[in-house]
Every structure is written in structure tokens, then in C-alpha cells.
């Protein structure tokens, strides 16, 4: 992408042709965004705006599940504030029960009367204080299949189950599908579901077959995993829902895993790829060293944003390997774990692994990733941020009756306007930002984002990573003119800004009306910001 030099923008012709919207700084326009209405990329799947909950730390107990008898307001045991917030952001899909936990989980433990369910050692026990007898360490199985399906229904998300391939036989997988999807009166398992209060089948379409099978999911080679995958998905009962199987894909840049799996699968013929709906890529960025989420230098601000931007090359790299073998492009990418990973904040209990209030920096990471997925709408079928509440890149933090939305939540709310739209090719040109990593010079683009069209509504989201410079930007809508425009901006003069239990609304987006007409205008993207412009086209 060409970087436009500042002097190219200072010519009188350009300056007189634009409507001046934002307060002009002494600087002339130094960046440009061109939205190409007639260059569609693909439909932005609502499932790109997907989430993930795992029986890890404080995610399920007490993030999601507080229990029916709790003083904390709940709907059938599920935290009410969480349900209400989730409804506002239109979550496309919700993945459960892991993560690594999935390959240690026996779904039979989590069905039937709650008082009779067994207590088990949680997969994550090695990462936490072992002398605690809390539900974060010893799994009480109070939140199981029916509870998860009800949570999905309450928030309007499709369920996405991750099945155990490491420590249970394929038979248990088939039975889980049967428990969820078979009509009530037909089998013993579907009758059990009905007795538990859910007569109608859950109609679960998305099934992950193992998780991180290269590591916690079995330490398999790509070839071994391909063989297991084939066996697991062979002749699974389908009932009325067409099942969509997701394979356990690579750890970040591991192209060998992708190539090995696809090559092995292709031994059964290229038609076999019809059975693989998605290939699950996992990529986390994180602070270097054991750092909490709220402490970083300006260089570390950029370092994390730069790391999160690797998502784009990972998508392109794996997509190109997949296409060499699946030449008819039957398989899409599913980025079913992504986010920025820091240390637990000391204000959260020790057993709440990696629980922290994300900051403005994490919000920009969210914007960068969601924009990347939108720009690759032709390749990405689904993405799931890790995780929803109380761990890693969470949208919420909860402890007993305290509950807050993090800046990540606000980005998801802003970007939900992209769902189901047609992603449009959009060209960003701005001076790059320079910074140092371990005293070595590095740089990052100056503006980046994505655009989508929904009939006459155009949504443009943009990240300005500069910690203290706004970007005076010419925005050109090629192929349409604009009737009206609203902006919504998440930003702060403090790059460490975040919300906390004491100050739950410290960082929130702000709305403004933008007065424009025509197809070209100047807009000032605030420093350190995520912006959404919603335009009504003529
Ligand atoms: O999201 C936390 C963990 O990260 C997941 O359990 C695992 O799949 C990944 O390594």
C-alpha cells in the first residue's frame, strides 16, 4: 500500500474540494482513506463477531454462572448483567467448553440433575493455587450442556461446541451430537435432554473436533491428527441440522501443521474437504515479560499493536497453503482463539487466571483484529475472541456482585454494525509510526480499518494507533455520495485508560453528528482511537 507524502495533500485543488468537518489543526491533511463501493470482497459473516467461554479461572464460575439461588441477579443461574450486555452486541456464535479444557471434558458429567453431577479436577489446576477447593479448581459441573445452550439462546448466539478428541472415544462425540440434536421422543439421550427441561433439539451446527491437537489436545503430529479427525467425523448422525466441523488448526505461524493436515486429508481425495467446514487458527499477542495489562511504555503500546497486526499475514499465509491442496476452496478459516494476553491483575482472586481489565491498548487490538477479519471476509467464516469474561482479552470483568464492561466490549458494540454487510476494498494511506522494540527500530502503519455496505448504509471503522497525534484525513467514497454521517469514537488522552470496579465508565465511546455532503470530506481521527463512521448514502 503506497504511503502518501504530506506534500501531495497540500495542493490547493484538494483542499478546496473537501468539506471541513472536524476542527482543523495547523497541519494539512496528511492521510487518505478511499472506500471503493464497487469492489466487494465478500459478506461479513456475523460469526466473525463470535465469543468463547472455557472452564478456566473465573470465566464460568462466577463470570457466567452464579447459580439460581445467588443474590446476584440471574436468569436461571446465568448472570443477568452479562446477558443484557451481550444482547446489545449481537454475538454471532459462542464457543464452549474450551480451549484445553475441552479435551479433558466428559460431557456426560454436565447433564442430568445438578445435585447429582460429579466434581472433577479442572484441567487448569497446574496453573493455579492447588490448595483452593473453589469451583475454578475443582469443576462442579453445574454449568453443562443445557445451561450452555440456554445461555446461547438468551443472548441470541449460535452454539459452537468443542469436542474431546484426546481423552474420549469418538462414540462420546456422536452421543453428544445425539443429545443435542435428536428429536425429543426418539432416543434415550434426547429424552434425557427433554427431562432436563429442553424438549426441542438445540440444533447445534458447529462442532470443533479437538482443540490445539498439536499441544494440550493430544501432542499429535498433523498427520496423526488428520487420521483422527477423519475417524471422528465419519458417519456422525446428522438429524435435521447440517453439521459444520472445524479442525484444530495451527498455532500462529505454523504452516507445517496446516500443510501436513491438508496433505493427509487429501489422500482421501479432494472431495473430502467438503467435510471440513473450517480450519481453526489460534493466535495471541501479549505483553513481553510477565506484565499486567495496565502497565506499559509508549514503545510497548506500539509493540503490542504491531504484534496484533500479525493476524493479517497469518491469515494470508495459511490461506495460501490451504489453497495449494484444497484447490476448490471448500474450506474457510475459523480464528477460534485470538486476543492480547497479559498477567492477572492483583485485584482479582488468584484462581481467576489471567483476569484483568483491558485498557485502551487492548481496545485498539480488538479494532485491529476485527478490521482484519472484515477485510478478509472472503476467507474467514468465524472468529472467537478469547475469552468473553474474566480472562485474557475479555469484554467483561466480574467478581461476585461487581461487573464491568471493558473497552473491548465497546469495540465489539461499535463493530457489530458490520455484521452481515458486504466488505468493501478500502485503501488507507498515512505516514507510518516509528517505535523501538528492544532498542531496535520498528514501525506500524499510520491508519488502518475496514468498510462494509448494507443497502444504503456504509460503515467505516478506523484505528489510529498514534499515541499523541490526530490524523487529519481525506475520506473519499468512490462510487456514491453521502447524505448523512454519525461518528462514534473510543479514545482518551491517557493511553492507559481503562474501566475498573471503582470507575466502571472511565472509558466509553462518544457519539457526534458529522455534517457533510458529496463524496469526499476531511475527518480528524483522534489520537489513540477506534472510530466508527456510519454514513447514509444518497
Ligand atoms: O484461551 C486460553 C487457552 O489458550 C485455551 O484453553 C487454549 O486453547 C489456548 O492455548
Q: Which pLDDT does position 400 carry in this prediction?
A: 97
How would you write 55-92 as a 3-class SS string? CCCCHHHHHHECCCCCCCCEECCEEHHHHHHHHHHCCC
Contact 52, 394 (CB under 8 A): no
What is the rounded end-to-end Cα distance, in angstroms, of the chain?
29
Residues ≥6 apart with Cβ < 8 Å to 11 = none
211 Cβ closer than 6 Å to some ligand 1 atom: yes
Rounded to an integer, what distance in angstroms lies between the CA atom of residue 409 and that of residue 246? 26
Position 12 pLDDT exceeds 70: no
Nearest 5°: phi and psi at 7?
Answer: -65, -25
Q: Cell triple for residue 157?
A: 448466539
Over residues 220-260, the pLDDT tens digits come to 999 999 999 999 999 998 898 999 999 999 999 999 999 99
103 Cβ closer than 6 Å to some ligand 1 atom: no
Contact 525, 464 (CB under 8 A): yes
The mean pLDDT value for 301-306 works out to 98
Position 8 pLDDT exceeds 70: no
Taking the CA atoms of 216, 218, 220 and 226 in sequence, report the sign of the dihedral they define: negative
Nearest 5°: phi and psi at 342?
Answer: -125, -175
50: which DSSP letter?
Answer: B
Q: Which pLDDT does position 288 carry in this prediction?
A: 78
Neighbouring CB atoms inside 10 A of 11's CB total 10
73 Cα–ligand 1 center, Å: 29
Rounded to an integer, what distance in angstroms lies between the CA atom of residue 353 and that of residue 219? 23
- Specify the residue with its C-alpha closest to ligand 1, atom 2: 99
DSSP string over 495-513? TT-B--SSSTTSS--EEEE
Q: How much of the chain is helix, strand and coil, in % rounded to 5?
A: 30, 30, 40
When the pLDDT of each residue in the chain is averaged and rounded to a whole number, the result is: 94
What percentage of the chain has pLDDT greater than the value 70? Answer: 95
Q: Which pLDDT does position 31 carry in this prediction?
A: 97
Q: Which pLDDT does position 129 carry in this prediction?
A: 76
46: which DSSP letter?
Answer: G
Q: What phi-psi label fits residue 24: left (phi over 0), alpha (psi between -120 and 50 degrees) or beta?
A: beta
Nearest 5°: phi and psi at 485?
Answer: -155, 135
Taking the CA atoms of 366, 369, 371 and 373 in sequence, report the sign of the dihedral they define: negative
Q: How far is CA 112 from the centre of its chain?
A: 31
List residues with catalytic annotation: 212, 337
Name the H helices within 94-167.
145-155
pLDDT confidence band for 5 (50 / 70 / 90): very low
Give the residue, out of 216, 254, 257, 281, with the most ligand 1 atoms within 8 A of its beta carbon, to mutate for a pocket test: 216
Q: Which pLDDT does position 26 carry in this prediction?
A: 42
Give the residue, out of 53, 57, 97, 98, with the most ligand 1 atoms within 8 A of its beta carbon, to mutate for a pocket test: 98
Position 6 pLDDT exceeds 50: no
Give the residue, out of 51, 126, 281, 337, with the most ligand 1 atoms within 8 A of its beta carbon, to mutate for a pocket test: 337
Residues facing 423 on adjacent strands: 42, 452
- Say how many CA atoms lie within 13 Å of 300 toward its Cβ: 18
Position 25 pLDDT exceeds 80: no
DSSP string over 289-315? SS-BTT---HHHHHHHHHHHTHHHHHH
54 Cβ closer than 6 Å to some ligand 1 atom: yes
Nearest 5°: phi and psi at 244?
Answer: -120, 110
Q: Cell triple for residue 418?
A: 458490520
Q: Which pLDDT does position 128 carry in this prediction?
A: 86
Cα-based torsion angle of the residue sequence 474, 452, 410, 350 in order, rounded to the nearest 10 degrees: -120
Over residues 373-391, the pLDDT tens digits come to 999 999 999 999 999 999 9
Q: Cell triple for residue 193?
A: 435432554
Contact 452, 419 (CB under 8 A): no
The mean pLDDT value for 357-369 works out to 98
How would you write 405-439 as a 3-class SS string? ECHHHHHHHHHHHHCCCEEEEEEEECCCEEEEECC
99 Cβ closer than 6 Å to some ligand 1 atom: yes
Cα-based torsion angle of the residue sequence 475, 477, 483, 489 in order, rounded to the nearest 10 degrees: -40
100 Cα–ligand 1 center, Å: 6
Q: Which pLDDT does position 20 carry in this prediction?
A: 35
Q: Counting beta carbons within 10 angstroms of the beta carbon of residue 249, is it exposed (0 to 12), middle (13 to 18) or buried (19 or more)?
A: buried
Rounded to an integer, what distance in angstroms lies between the CA atom of residue 257 and that of residue 254? 6
- Specify the residue with its C-alpha closest to ligand 1, atom 3: 99
The pTM of the full predicted model, rounded to 2 decimals, is 0.94
Rounded to an integer, what distance in angstroms lies between the CA atom of residue 461 and that of residue 411? 10
373 Cα–ligand 1 center, Å: 20
User: Contacts from 61-67 at CB under 8 Å and sequence distance 24+?
Assistant: 61/134, 61/135, 61/136, 61/140, 61/142, 61/143, 62/398, 62/399, 62/400, 63/388, 63/389, 63/390, 63/396, 63/398, 64/143, 64/151, 64/388, 64/389, 65/142, 65/143, 65/147, 67/142
Amino acid at each position: 500500500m503506497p504511503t502518501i507524502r504530506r506534500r501531495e495533500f497540500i495542493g490547493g485543488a484538494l483542499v478546496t474540494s473537501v468539506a471541513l468537518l472536524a476542527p482543523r489543526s495547523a497541519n494539512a491533511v496528511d492521510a487518505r482513506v478511499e472506500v471503493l463501493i464497487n469492489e466487494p470482497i465478500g459478506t461479513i459473516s456475523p460469526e466473525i463477531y463470535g465469543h468463547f467461554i472455557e472452564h478456566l479461572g473465573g470465566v464460568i464460575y462466577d463470570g457466567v454462572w452464579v447459580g439460581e439461588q445467588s443474590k446476584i441477579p440471574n436468569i436461571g443461574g446465568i448472570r443477568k448483567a452479562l446477558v443484557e450486555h451481550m444482547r446489545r452486541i449481537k454475538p454471532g456464535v459462542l464457543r464452549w467448553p474450551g480451549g484445553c479444557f475441552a479435551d479433558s471434558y466428559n460431557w456426560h458429567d454436565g447433564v442430568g440433575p445438578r445435585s447429582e453431577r460429579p466434581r472433577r479436577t479442572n484441567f487448569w489446576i497446574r496453573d493455579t493455587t492447588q490448595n483452593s477447593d473453589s469451583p475454578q479448581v475443582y469443576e462442579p459441573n453445574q454449568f453443562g450442556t443445557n445451561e450452555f445452550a440456554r445461555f446461547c439462546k438468551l443472548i441470541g448466539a449460535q452454539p459452537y461446541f468443542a469436542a474431546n478428541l484426546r481423552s474420549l472415544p469418538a462414540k462420546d462425540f456422536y452421543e453428544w451430537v445425539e443429545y443435542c440434536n435428536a428429536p425429543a421422543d426418539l432416543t434415550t439421550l434426547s429424552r434425557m435432554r427433554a427431562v432436563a427441561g429442553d424438549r426441542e433439539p438445540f440444533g447445534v451446527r458447529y462442532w470443533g473436533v479437538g482443540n490445539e491437537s498439536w499441544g494440550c489436545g493430544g501432542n499429535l503430529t498433523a498427520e496423526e491428527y488428520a487420521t483422527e479427525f477423519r475417524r471422528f467425523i465419519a458417519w456422525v448422525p446428522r438429524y435435521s441440522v447440517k453439521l459444520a466441523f472445524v479442525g484444530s488448526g495451527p498455532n500462529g505461524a505454523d504452516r507445517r501443521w496446516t500443510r501436513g493436515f491438508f496433505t493427509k486429508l487429501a489422500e482421501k481425495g479432494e472431495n473430502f474437504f467438503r467435510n471440513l467446514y473450517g480450519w481453526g487458527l489460534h493466535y495471541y499477542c501479549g505483553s513481553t515479560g510477565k506484565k499486567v495489562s495496565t502497565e506499559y511504555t509508549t514503545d510497548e503500546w506500539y509493540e503490542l499493536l504491531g504484534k496484533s497486526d500479525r493476524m493479517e499475514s497469518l491469515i494470508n499465509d495459511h490461506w495460501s497453503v490451504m489453497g495449494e491442496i484444497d484447490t476448490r476452496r471448500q474450506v474457510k478459516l475459523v480464528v477460534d482463539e485470538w486476543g492480547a494476553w497479559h498477567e492477572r491483575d492483583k485485584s482479582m482472586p488468584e484462581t481467576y487466571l489471567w483476569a484483568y481489565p483491558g485498557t485502551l491498548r487492548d481496545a485498539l487490538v480488538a479494532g485491529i483484529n476485527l478490521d482484519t477479519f472484515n477485510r478478509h471476509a472472503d476467507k474467514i467464516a468465524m472468529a472467537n475472541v478469547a475469552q468473553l469474561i474474566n480472562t485474557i482479552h475479555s469484554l467483561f470483568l466480574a467478581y461476585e456482585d461487581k461487573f464491568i464492561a471493558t473497552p473491548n466490549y465497546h469495540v465489539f458494540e461499535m463493530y457489530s454494525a458490520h455484521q452481515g454487510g458486504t466488505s468493501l476494498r478500502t485503501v488507507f494511506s498515512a505516514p507510518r509510526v516509528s517505535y523501538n522494540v528492544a532498542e531496535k527500530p520498528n514501525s506500524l502503519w499510520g491508519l488502518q480499518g475496514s468498510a462494509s455496505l448494507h443497502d444504503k448504509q456504509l460503515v467505516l471503522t478506523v484505528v489510529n494507533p498514534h499515541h499523541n497525534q490526530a490524523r487529519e484525513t481525506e475520506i473519499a467514497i468512490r462510487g456514491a455520495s453521502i447524505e448523512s454521517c454519525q461518528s462514534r469514537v473510543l479514545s482518551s488522552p491517557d493511553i492507559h485508560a481503562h474501566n475498573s470496579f471503582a470507575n466502571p465508565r472511565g472509558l466509553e465511546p462518544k457519539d457526534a453528528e458529522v455534517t457533510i455532503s458529496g463524496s469526499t470530506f476531511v475527518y480528524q481521527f483522534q489520537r489513540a482511537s477506534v472510530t466508527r463512521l456510519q454514513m447514509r448514502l444518497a
